[in-house]
């Protein structure tokens, strides 16, 4: 577990591709990675993104300029933007209550 995961806990909420929040970090899903190296090849600052991706480590390289190129080019959807979240999977109580009512067992 790396430093960020220790600080914020493992739960991370995806944000949309290409439009990261200021605290968003590129996060790999190693079960998708085939180590092809497209990510690192397209990185404008030369981060070896593959080395992070294949080990499932958040790309916490200080050189990252959050351009999102690696997220965009990965053919297998390995890389996402995530940000640290708190509380219930990043879902606020109002939305949670809505979801609960929507799928109530005795409902539709």
Partner 1 sequence: MTRYVIVGNGAAGVSAAEEIRSLDPTAALTIIGGERHPMYSRPGLAYVVINEIPDRQVIARQPEWYREHAIELVHATAARLDVEARQVRLSDGRGLDYDSLLIATGARAVPLPYPGHDLDGVVYLDTLDGTRELLRRAKRARRAVVIGGGITAFELAEGLAHHKVETHFLVRKDTLWSAVFNAQESQVLADRMADHGVRLHFRSEVAEVLGDARGRVTGVRLTSGEVLGCDLVGAGIGVRPQIEWVRGAGIEVDKGILVDEFLQTPVPDVYAAGDCAQVWDRWTERYTLDSLWPSAVAAGKIAGRNMACDQPALRATYIKGIPFNACLLFGLHVTAMGQLGGGRNAAEADVVQHISRGSSEIWANTPHAYASAWSGSGTNSIRLALGGKRLMGALVVGQQTLADPLRDLIEWGTDLTPLRADLERGGPDLSDRVLRFWKLARLRRSPDFATSVHQGVWE
Backbone dihedral angles phi then psi of residue 47, each to the nearest 5 degrees: -75, 135
- Least separation in angstroms between residue 10's CB and partner 1 is 11
Does 85 sit near partner 1 (CB under 8 A)? no
Per DSSP, 13 falls in state E
What gap in Å lies between CA 107 and CA 26, rounded to an integer? Answer: 39
Q: Provide the β-strand partners of residue 83.
A: 13
54 binding partner 1? (CB under 8 A) = yes
**Which of 18-26, 59-67, 72-80 is the region at the interface with partner 1 (rule: CB under 8 A)?**
72-80
| Minimum gap (Å) between residue 48 Cβ and partner 1 | 10
Q: Is 76 in the site for partner 1 (CB under 8 A)?
A: yes
Burial class (CB in 10 A: 0-12, 13-18, 19+), 4: middle
Does residue number 1 form part of the binding site for partner 1 (CB under 8 A)?
no
Which of the stretches 19-27, 59-67, 68-76 binds partner 1 when contact is defined by CB under 8 A? 68-76
Instruction: Please tell me the distance from the alpha carbon of residue 108 to that of residue 98, in angstroms, as a whole number.
Output: 15
Instruction: For strands 25-28 and 79-84, give the pairing.
Output: antiparallel
Chain residues in the site for partner 1 (CB under 8 A): 11, 29-38, 40-41, 50, 54, 73, 75-77, 87-89, 91, 93, 96-97, 99-100, 102-105, 107-108
């Amino acid at each position: 577990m790396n430093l960020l995961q220790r600080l914020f806990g493992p739960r991370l909420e995806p944000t949309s591709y290409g439009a990261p929040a200021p605290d968003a970090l590129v996060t790999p899903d190693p079960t998708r990675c085939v180590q092809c190296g497209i990510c690192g090849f397209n990185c404008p600052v030369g981060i070896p993104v593959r080395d992070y991706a294949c080990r499932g480590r958040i790309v916490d390289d200080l050189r990252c300029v959050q351009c999102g190129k690696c997220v965009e080019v990965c053919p297998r959807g390995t890389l996402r933007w995530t940000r640290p979240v708190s509380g219930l999977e990043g879902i606020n109580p109002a939305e949670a209550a809505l979801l609960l009512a929507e799928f109530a067992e005795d409902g539709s």
